[in-house]
Amino acid sequence: MAENLISTELLDSYLTYTAESLTKLEKHLGNLQSQEAEDPQLRRDIFGICHDIKGMGGSFNYPLMTDAGTSICHYLRKLDETTPTENNLIEAHVKTMRVIIDNNITGSGGDTGKQLIDRLNELVEHSLA
């Protein structure tokens, strides 16, 4: 399996980086929620962090992180600069990513993993409809 090819040190580095990235996302989300008018740079920062998380997840046997990152990036890409984000939708993605990392849910995550990602995708599609 791919996870056997990854050194413990490299995996630990990924987990530390991802945990720090999630903390940044949580801070950005708090800033987003406290603003009267949305800051486009803040949205770009959130997208960038999520895009990085998305890109690395599968390489470290965290494909659910890739799936969650893909979902939120899809959502943010579909918005134009004047469309306000739905903070609850971003928060749902960040919380899902936090659950995956904090509970060390690797691989597909079984039925729970499928339900988590299906729910995020459903929220995005509903929001964009």
CATH architecture of 2-128: Up-down Bundle (1.20)
- For 79-109, where are the alpha helices, taking DSSP H only? 87-102
- Per-residue pLDDT for 2 more than 60? no
Instruction: Report d(CA 87, CA 50) in Å as an integer.
Output: 15
Question: Whose CA is closest to 54, among 67, 37, 36, 38?
Answer: 67
- The domains of the chain are located at 2-128
CA 27-104-95 angle, 5° bins: 30
Instruction: Report d(CA 19, CA 127) in Å as an integer.
Output: 27
- Per-residue pLDDT for 39 more than 90? no
Please count the other Cβ atoms lying within 10 Å of the Cβ belonging to residue 75.
23
pTM of structure? 0.89
Q: What is the pLDDT of residue 38?
A: 77
The pLDDT tens digits of the residues spanning 45-100 come to 999 999 999 999 999 999 999 999 999 999 999 987 767 788 899 999 999 999 99
